[in-house]
Amino acid sequence: MATTLTSLRFDNRFARLHPSLYQVVDPTPLPAPYLVAFNSDAAALLDLDPAAALEPEAAGYLSGAIRLPGAEPIAMLYAGHQFGIWVPQLGDGRAILLGQVRNARSETWDLHLKGGGQTQFSRMGDGRAVLRSTIREYLGSEAMHGLGIPTTRALAIVGSDALVYRETPETAATLIRLAPTHVRFGSFQVLASRGLEDRARELADYLIGEHLPELVGAPDRYRAWLEVIVERTADLVAQWTAVGFAHGVLNTDNMSVLGLTLDYGPFAFMDEYDPRLVCNHSDHDGRYAFDQQPAVGLWNLARFAEALLPLVTLEEANLALERYPARFNESYGRLVRAKMGLATERPEDGGLVEEMYSIMAANRADHTRWFRALGGVTATTEAPPAELLASVHDLERLAGWTTRYAARIRDEGRPEPARAAEMRAINPKFVLRNHLAQQAIDRALERDYSEIERLRRLLADPFAEHPEFERYADPAPPWAKDLVISCSS
C-alpha cells in the first residue's frame, strides 16, 4: 500500500449514470488552503499511504482546488422531506462527489468533498462549510465507526482563512468524506416526483449491482432490496438508541440507502440520559428528539418506499415496511441485553430494562458512565457500586433495582470475568461528548490541530481503558449545557 494522491485508482461509476442524476461541476478553490486533519485509518480504505498528507500539494488536492488525476467531479441531485415538509429539489448544494476510488480489495469509495463551493443545487447557500462543522463531522463520523456503527468516514479537513458568514463570520474549511455511496432516500424521491421511472430503475440497478450483487437480475430484486434497506435502517436506529446518539436532522435527504449514519449536523452523543433530548437548536417542535428517532426511521422509510412504487407494488412496499418494528425491537433488545451483560432473554426483562431507564432519566444519570459502571454489578452484589450511587439521588430506588438486577445475573450464572469483559466490549468508555468536540474546535481556531488527532485516535478505540485519557471519560462540565448546536454549519 503506497498509493500517492496522484495515483489513486478512480473508477467513476456514478458519473456513467444518466446525466439527469447530477450536475458536472468543479469545486471552487478556497484561497491558500492548508491541511488541518488527515485520517490515516480512512486513507487505508483507499490504499492511500499516510505520507500523502506530506505531499507538497496535499491541501490543494484534498480541498478540490487541484483536480486529482482521474477524478470527475459532479454534484448529486436529490430532494427530500425536511422537518416533514416536501422540498422538491435539494441536491449537493455544497458537496461535490470528486469521484470514486477502487481499492485493491475491489471496494469502491466515494470521495465526497463538503464545502467545495456552489453548485446548481446551492439555492441561497454559499456552498461552503465552516471549520467548526467540519471538525464535528470528522470526529463524529470516526467516533461512530469506532463504536462499530455504520457511518460515512472522514478522510481529511482542509482549512482556509477565507471567511464565511453564519451567525458570525467564521473561517471556511472542506471535508472529504468517504462512503460506498452517498445516495439517499431523497435521491429516489426526486425521480418519483418527476415521473422518471426509468431513471429510478437505473439508479436502483446500479446500487444493487454495487452493493447486493446476489440480487442482480432477480425478478423481485427491488422488493428484496427495499427489505434490506428497511432492516438496515432499523438496525442503525437501534444502534443509535443503544449508544445514546441523536442525529438531529433526520430529513429524508439525510437517510442513506446503505443504512449509514449520514450528514453530521447538530448531532449529539448524549451526556445525561434524557429520552426527550432535542440536540438541534432549530428543531423547535422536537420532531427529531432522541426518543422519536425509531418512529422517524419508519416514517422516512415510508416516504422512500412510496418513491419506489413504480418498481415495487403497494403490497410489497407495505410488507417491507411492516418488518421495521419487529426488526428494530429485536436489534435494540439484543443490544440492551448485551449492554446489561445478559446472555438470555426472559419475560421479566422488559420491566428490569424499563425501570433502569426510568431511574436514569429521573436522575439524569450520565448515559455512557452508567452502562460502563453496570459491569460492576455481579451475582453477589448486595449494594449498588459507587459509580452508580454517585449518579443517582434516589438511592432507595437504585438499591431496589440493583437487587433485582443482581438476582437476574445470579440466575443466569455466567462466569463473571467473561461477562464483565463482554460488557466492556459493548459499553464504550469514551464517546464524542459535545464539550470534547468543542475543545478540539476551540484549539483549532487558535491553529492548534493536535486535539483533533488525539480525539480521533482515542475514539477509534473507545472500549479500551486508556488510563492516560481518564478525563475524556468525565461527565460533561456545567458549561457544556450552554453549547448551542444549530443547523448552521
List active site positions.
253
DSSP for 73-106, written as a single string: -EEE---EEETTEEES----SSEEEEEEEE-TTS
Looking at the Cβ atoms of 263 and 451, the one nearer to Mg ion is: 263
For residue 482 the three cell numbers come to: 450552554
Q: Decide if residue 94 touches ligand AMP (CB under 6 A).
A: yes
B/e letters for 302-314, b = 16+ CB within 10 Å, e = fewer, are bbbbebbeebbee
Q: Which of 468, 465, 464 is nearest to 454 (CA)?
A: 468
Out of 5, 30, 175, 249, the only residue in the binding site for ligand AMP (CB under 6 A) is 249
Measured from the CB atom, is 91 or 341 closer to ligand AMP? 91
Round to whole Å and give the CA distance between 53 and 61.
10
Q: Which stretch binds ligand AMP (CB under 6 A): 26-34, 89-97, 143-151, 390-398?
A: 89-97
Q: Which residues of 168-188 are buried (b: 16+ CB within 10 A; e: fewer)?
A: eebbbbbbbbbbbbbbbbbbb
3-state secondary structure of 272: strand
Residue 487 interacting with ligand AMP (CB under 6 A): yes
CB of 182 to ligand AMP, least distance (A): 11
Our finding on whether 122 is near ligand AMP (CB under 6 A) is: yes
- Name which of 87 and 388 has its Cβ closer to Mg ion: 87
- CA nearest neighbour of 193 among 83, 321, 76, 86: 86
Which one, 99 or 127, has the nearer CB to ligand AMP? 127
Only segment of 1-9, 21-29, 121-129, 149-157 that touches ligand AMP (CB under 6 A) = 121-129
- Told to check if 280 binds Mg ion by CB under 5 A, we report no
What distance in Å separates the CA atoms of residue 196 and residue 444, rounded to the nearest whole number?
45
* Site membership for ligand AMP, residue 93 (CB under 6 A): yes
Choose the contact partner of 303 out of ligand AMP, Mg ion, none; CB within 5 to 8 A by kind. none
Identify which of residues 121 and 405 has a Cβ nearer to ligand AMP in the complex.
121
- Per DSSP bridges, beta strands 268-269 and 245-246 are antiparallel
Q: Is 254 in the site for Mg ion (CB under 5 A)?
A: yes
246 binds ligand AMP (CB under 6 A): no
Taking CA atoms, 15 is separated from 99, 115, 119, 289, in Å, by: 8, 20, 16, 37
Rounded to an integer, what distance in angstroms lies between the CA atom of residue 139 and that of residue 136? 5
* 64 touches ligand AMP (CB under 6 A): no
Q: Which region among 87-95, 217-225, 433-441, 450-458 touches ligand AMP (by CB under 6 A)?
A: 87-95
Binding residue (CB under 5 A) for Mg ion from 47, 92, 263, 272? 263
Residue nearest to Mg ion (CB): 263
Minimum CB–partner distance for residue 488 and ligand AMP (Å): 9
CB 222 within 8 A of CB 319: no
| Bridge partners (DSSP) listed for residue 170 | 164
Which partner in Mg ion, ligand AMP, none is near 367 (CB below 5 to 8 A by kind)? none
| Residue 263 in contact with ligand AMP, rule: CB under 6 A | yes
Q: Which helix (H) or strand (E) holds 178?
A: strand 169-179
Binding track over 292-331 against Mg ion, x by CB under 5 A = ----------------------------------------
Pair 184, 80: CB distance under 8 Å: yes
Pick from Mg ion, ligand AMP, none: which does 127 bind, CB < 5 to 8 A by kind?
ligand AMP
What residues line the site for ligand AMP (CB under 6 A)? 90-95, 121-122, 125-128, 249, 254, 263, 265, 487
What residues line the site for Mg ion (CB under 5 A)? 254, 263
